[in-house]
Structure 1
Amino acid sequence: MTRIPAVAAALAAAAIGTLVAAPASATAHAGGPPACAAEPHALVAAADPLAVEAGLAMLRRGGSAVDAAIAAKLALTLVEAPETGIGGGGFLLHRSAADGALVVHDGREVAPEAATPERFLLPLSRPMPFAAAVVSGRAVGVPGMVAMMHDAHGLHGRLPWTDLFDPAITMAESGVPMPARLRDQITGDRSLSLFRGTRQGLRRQSGEELLVNPDLADTLRRIADGGPDAFYRGEIARSIVAAVTGRRPWPGDMTAEDLADYEARRREPVCGAYRGWTVCGAPPPSSGGIAVLQILGMLEHHDLAALGPGSVEAVHLIAEASRLAFADRELHVADPAFVPVPVAALIDPAYLAARAALIDPLRAMATAPPGDPPAGRPAHGVAVPVDPVEEERLSDDNGTSHLVAIDREGNVASFTGSIEAPFGSRLMVRGFLLNNQLTDFAFVPTASGLPRVNAVAPGKRPRSSMAPTIVFDPEGRVRLAVGGRGGSRIIGHVVKTIVGVLDWNLDVQQAVALPNLLHRGRTLELEEGTALDSLAPALRAMGHRVEVLPLTSGLHALERVDGRLRGAADPRMGGLACGIE
Structure 2
Amino acid sequence: MKKLLFVLPLFFVYHTSQAYSNDAPPPEASSGLKPAQSITTTQGVCVTAHPLATQACQTVLNQGGSAADGAMAAAWMLGLVEPQSSGLGGGGYLVYFDGHKTIALDGRETAPKSAKENRFLDSNGAPLPFRQAVTNGLSVGTPGMVRLMQQISKQYGQVKWQTTLKPAILAAQNGFHVTPRLHLLLSVDPSLRQSNAASIFYPEGQPLAVGTLYKNPAYAQTLQTISKKGPEYFYKGTLRTAILAAANTQGSDLTPQDFDQYKVVTSNAICKVITTYQVCSAPPSSSGGITVLQILSLLQGELPKDPISAVTYLTNASRLAFADRDEYIADPAFEKVPVTQLLDSSYLQKRSALATGEHLNQVTAGLGSRQPSLEGVDAPNTSHISVVDSKGRAASMTMSIESAFGSNIWVKEGGFFLNNELTDFSFAPTNKGIPVANRVQGGKRPRSSMAPTLLLNAQGTQVQGVLGSPGGSQIIGYVAQATLDLLGGKTVQQTLDTPHILRRGDSTELEQGRFDDAFKQSLVKAGHLIKEGDMTSGLAIIWRTNEGWVAGADPRREGIALAQKDSVKAH
TM-score (norm: length of structure 1) = 0.87
Contact 1:315/1:517 (<8 A) preserved: no
Contact 1:316/1:539 (<8 A) preserved: no
Amino acid at match of 1:382: R
Aligned mates of 2:267, 2:517 — CA distance in 1: 40
Contact 2:429/2:436 (<8 A) preserved: yes
Aligned mates of 2:449, 2:57 — CA distance in 1: 25
User: How far 1:38 moved relative to its partner?
Assistant: 6.2
Contact 1:241/1:255 (<8 A) preserved: yes
Amino acid at match of 2:455: V
1:235 matched residue in structure 2: 238
Contact 1:509/1:568 (<8 A) preserved: yes
| Identity within the alignment, % | 38
Aligned mates of 1:261, 1:563 — CA distance in 2: 47
Say if 2:71 is the partner of 1:87: no
Aligned mates of 2:128, 2:407 — CA distance in 1: 15
Contact 1:403/1:557 (<8 A) preserved: no
User: How far 1:542 moved relative to its partner?
Assistant: 2.8
User: How far 1:523 moved relative to its partner?
Assistant: 3.4
SS at match of 2:296: helix
User: How far 1:535 moved relative to its partner?
Assistant: 3.0
Deviation per residue, 1:203-252 (Å, 9 max, x gap): 336136112111111111111111110111121111111111101xxx11
Say if 2:552 is the partner of 1:568: yes
User: How far 1:531 moved relative to its partner?
Assistant: 2.5
1:442 matched residue in structure 2: 426
Say if 2:140 is the partner of 1:140: yes
Q: Equivalent residues in 2 for 1:43-192 (5 A)? A: 43-97=45-99, 100-192=100-192
2:10 matched residue in structure 1: none
Contact 2:35/2:497 (<8 A) preserved: no
SS at match of 1:424: coil
Contact 1:364/1:542 (<8 A) preserved: no
User: How far 1:347 moved relative to its partner?
Assistant: 1.1
Aligned mates of 2:261, 2:141 — CA distance in 1: 13
Aligned mates of 1:466, 1:102 — CA distance in 2: 17
Q: Equivalent residues in 2 for 1:245-260 (5 A)? A: 245-247=248-250, 251-260=251-260
Deviation per residue, 1:514-547 (Å, 9 max, x gap): 1112234453322111127653333333333332
SS at match of 2:473: helix
Which structure is richer in relative contact order (CA contacts within 8 A, separation 6 or more)?
2
Say if 2:411 is the partner of 1:423: no
Say if 2:360 is the partner of 1:364: yes
SS at match of 1:123: coil
1:296 matched residue in structure 2: 296
Give the unaligned 5+ runs of structure 2: 1-33, 566-571
Q: 1:360 to 1:565 in 2, by over 3 A?
A: closer
Aligned mates of 1:257, 1:533 — CA distance in 2: 57
Amino acid at match of 2:241: R
Say if 2:184 is the partner of 1:200: no
Deviation per residue, 1:463-510 (Å, 9 max, x gap): 00000000113354211110001110000000110011102x011221
1:340 matched residue in structure 2: 336
Q: Equivalent residues in 2 for 1:507-522 (5 A)? A: 507-522=491-506
1:32 matched residue in structure 2: none
Contact 1:270/1:282 (<8 A) preserved: yes
User: How far 1:65 moved relative to its partner?
Assistant: 0.6
Aligned mates of 1:262, 1:222 — CA distance in 2: 20
Say if 2:453 is the partner of 1:461: no
1:29 matched residue in structure 2: none
Aligned mates of 1:474, 1:444 — CA distance in 2: 42
Q: 1:132 to 1:148 in 2, by over 3 A?
A: same
Number of residues of Structure 1 aligned to a counterpart in Structure 2: 525
Say if 2:247 is the partner of 1:244: yes
Aligned mates of 1:514, 1:265 — CA distance in 2: 35
Contact 1:82/1:422 (<8 A) preserved: yes
C-alpha RMSD of matched pairs (Å) = 2.0
Deviation per residue, 1:376-427 (Å, 9 max, x gap): xx5xx2333x53x34xx47xx6111001111111110000000011111001
SS at match of 1:124: coil
Give the unaligned 5+ runs of structure 1: 1-22, 27-35, 373-377
Counterpart pick for 1:383 among 365, 371, 378: 371
1:537 matched residue in structure 2: 521
Deviation per residue, 1:233-274 (Å, 9 max, x gap): 121111111111101xxx110011111211111011111121
Q: Which has the higher helix share?
A: 1
Q: 1:542 to 1:76 in 2, by over 3 A?
A: same
Contact 2:508/2:528 (<8 A) preserved: yes
Larger CA deviation: 558-567 vs 124-133: 558-567
1:486 matched residue in structure 2: 471
TM-score (norm: length of structure 2) = 0.88
